[in-house]
Amino acid sequence: METLKELCGGLPLNPLPPNHGRDPNVPHAPVRTPNLTAEEERLALKNALRYFPPALHSTLAPEFAQELRQYGHIYMYRFCPTVRMRAYPIDQYPCQTRHAAAIMHMIMNNLDQAVAQFPQELVTYGGNGQVFSNWAQFWLVFHYLSTMNDEQTLVMYSGHPLGLFPSLPSSPRCVITNGMVIPNYSSRENYEKMFALGITMYGQMTAGSYCYIGPQGIVHGTMLTVLNAGRRYLGTSDLRGRVFVTSGLGGMSGAQAKAAVIAGCVGVIAEVDEVPLKKRHEQGWLMEVTNDLDHCMKRIREARKSKMALSLGYHGNIVDLWERLWQEYERTGELLVDLGSDQTSLHNPFSGGYYPVQLSFKQANQLMNTDPQLFRTTVHESLRRHVAAINKLSEEGMYFWDYGNAFLLEAKRAGADVEKSGGGATEFKYPSYVQHIMGDIFSLGFGPFRWVCTSGDPADLAKTDDIATAVLEQISASVTERVRQQYNDNIRWIREAGKHNMVVGSQARILYSDQRGRVSIALAINKAVADGRVTAPVVISRDHHDVSGTDSPFRETSNIYDGSAFCADMAVQNVIGDAFRGATWVALHNGGGVGWGEVMNGGFGLVLDGSEEAGNRARTMLNWDVSNGVARRCWSGNSNAYETIQLTMEDQTQLRVTMPYHVQDERILYRALQ
- C-beta neighbour count of 361 within 10 angstroms: 16
Burial of 234 (0-12, 13-18, 19+ CB in 10 A): middle
pLDDT of residue 301: 97
pLDDT of residue 252: 63
- Provide the terminal-to-terminal Cα distance of the chain, rounded to the nearest Å: 77
Provide the Cα torsion 569, 574, 577, 579; round to 10°.
-120
Closest to 506 measured CA to CA, from 109, 98, 208, 123? 109
pLDDT tens column, 66-102: 999 999 999 999 999 999 999 999 999 999 999 999 9
CA distances to 245, 320, 325, 378 from 357, in Å: 17, 7, 15, 9
| Cα 132 to Cα 207: distance, rounded to the nearest angstrom | 9
Q: What one-character-per-residue DSSP string does 415-440 give? A: T-S-PPTT--TT--SS-BHIIIIIHH
Residues of the chain with pLDDT under 50: none
pLDDT of residue 308: 95
**pLDDT for position 77:** 98
DSSP H or E segment with residue 339: strand 339-340
pLDDT number for residue 589: 97
CA 63, 64, 70, 74 dihedral sign is positive
Q: Yes or no: say if 458 and 509 are a contact pair by the CB < 8 Å rule.
A: no
Count of other CB atoms within 10 angstroms of residue 524: 17
- Residue 587, pLDDT score: 98
Gap between the Cα atoms of 69 and 63, Å rounded? 10
The answer to whether 178 and 132 have CB atoms below 8 angstroms apart is no
**How much is the pTM?**
0.89
